[in-house]
Amino acid sequence: MPHEIAPRSGVAFTLDRGQRLTIIDPQGEQVADLLAFNRADVREVISAGRTFDYASKIFLTAGDPLYSNRSNIMLDIVEDSVGRHDFLLTPCSKDTFRIIYGDSDPHQGCFGNLAQALAPYAIEEDMIPAAFNCFMNVQVDGTSGAISVDPPLSKAGDRIVFEARMDLIIGLTACSALQSNNGSFKPIHWQVD
């Protein structure tokens, strides 16, 4: 049975080298922000910039490795029933909701949820980079550079599976931003095999 992450919340857990992490969108059109840290030294962290450079592309799917800031492979994407995820944007936060949504009493967002879940592993807020945003559908205009956050392409039961290439600490959320998940907050399921 998979674990459930309640809407607008997050968790952290360990993933051993060789284990597989399956992330499931149980209702469809929901986003899960994924972070990975080297368990032996949490200063080594998942890096969008390194991954884009080595992959020569910004959209990643099955067969693509996710690199760390030290240019080591942390995770391989081994299955993907959706084919569109985002690695450009940082986790939504109090500031996101204040600046983009104009909220006066903003939710702590995925950023706050990740920071809270990762604190017991001695990971501080400032160490949180751009996340691999599973199922998030960010369209990019290659001419102007304009981006838009569109409804996820994921349907109920869709999944993405990662295999760990080192011992990791994982942070994972059920996203808190209305724009990311087409206007409704939903859970995320995950399991380790």
- The site for a second copy (CB under 8 A) is made up of 43-45, 47-50, 52-54, 56-60, 69-71, 88-90, 93, 95-96, 99-100, 124, 126, 128-130, 139-148
If we measure between CA atoms, which residue out of 2, 59, 65, 6 comes closest to residue 36? 65
Q: Which is nearer to a second copy, 137 or 189 (CB)?
A: 137
Q: Are the beta carbons of 163 and 76 closer than 8 angstroms? A: yes
Q: Which is nearer to a second copy, 3 or 43 (CB)?
A: 43
Question: Minimal distance in Å, beta carbon 129 to a second copy?
Answer: 7
Q: How far is CA 18 from CA 40, 152, 163, in A?
A: 16, 29, 6
Nearest-angstrom CA–CA distance, 56 and 39? 27
Question: Minimal distance in Å, beta carbon 87 to a second copy?
Answer: 9
Radius of gyration of the chain (CA): 15
Question: Minimal distance in Å, beta carbon 10 to a second copy?
Answer: 17
Question: Minimal distance in Å, beta carbon 57 to a second copy?
Answer: 4
